[in-house]
Amino acid sequence: MSTERSAELSANSTILSGFPEPLSAAAIAPHLRAADLKVEAVATTGSTNADLMARARERAFRSPVLRVAGTQTGGRGRLGRRWLDGGASLLFSLGLPWRKDPASTPEVTLACGLAAAEALHAQGIHVGLKWPNDLLLDGRKLAGILCEMAEDPAGGRSLIIGMGVNLILPAGLRDGIDQPVAELAERVPPDRLLAERAWWLGRFADAMLAAARRFEHVGEGAP
């Protein structure tokens, strides 16, 4: 590892030692454009996706919900892979009513991934998309998206869109991840990034909710 990179990781660890409290719903809401999106924020949970999936299996969502966690103890990625959480991350899930067939899950995942990538591109941060659900910065995983569908006893469907974004990763956490990873702090100064967490979360959530809604309506009214 280069001396420059070692110094960067040390500086990031110092910043994380004073990491602010988890985001509150009141802090997040002003940064969301979707007026009908209900915001929930918790300090810790097993998985925001699992929380919303359990709720949706009892009764399908009637309006969209954004659930945000400061930390997750059982975060998951695609194919059941574990999402390690030990640094500064954005961890959230969207739950919304859904009419399309469950077989469309890979396609809507891709649509949400493209929307998240475009949100980064708008800030001058160019990322790649590894089909169907990883955002890559210089070929390394910056963020992951997990879309799942749930059906309640009455047949009502819900779509759950989960996202985890690496903001700042301590060196020790990097060592425990079995693939090359990236952090948003490589493009945005860490102190500024932490101060703007709610703004970044709003950009990603709005982009993916809008993408999912557009996807759901594709083909409606066609002959």
Residue extents of the structural domains in the chain: 3-217
Residue-level pLDDT at 191: 92
Cα angle, residue 141 at apex, residues 30 and 107 outer, rounded to 5°: 75
Q: How many CB atoms lie within 10 A of CB 38?
A: 14
Tokens of 192: 């500024």
Cα separation of 195 and 218, whole Å? Answer: 37
Whether CATH 2.30.30.60 fits 3-217: no
Per-residue pLDDT of the chain (223 residues; tens, 9 = 90+): 343 434 344 444 444 444 567 899 999 999 999 999 999 999 999 999 999 999 999 999 999 999 999 988 875 544 445 555 556 899 999 999 999 988 888 999 999 999 999 999 999 999 999 987 899 999 999 999 999 999 999 999 999 999 999 999 877 555 556 678 999 999 999 999 999 999 999 999 999 999 999 999 875 544 3
Residue-level pLDDT at 143: 95
Tokens of 10: 């040390």
Residue-level pLDDT at 158: 97
Among candidate residues 214, 205, 79, the one with its CA nearest the CA of residue 148: 79
Report how far apart, in Å, the C-alpha atoms of 55 and of each of 148, 151, 187 are.
13, 10, 37
Residue-level pLDDT at 91: 94
Residue-level pLDDT at 153: 98
Cα separation of 79 and 213, whole Å? Answer: 25
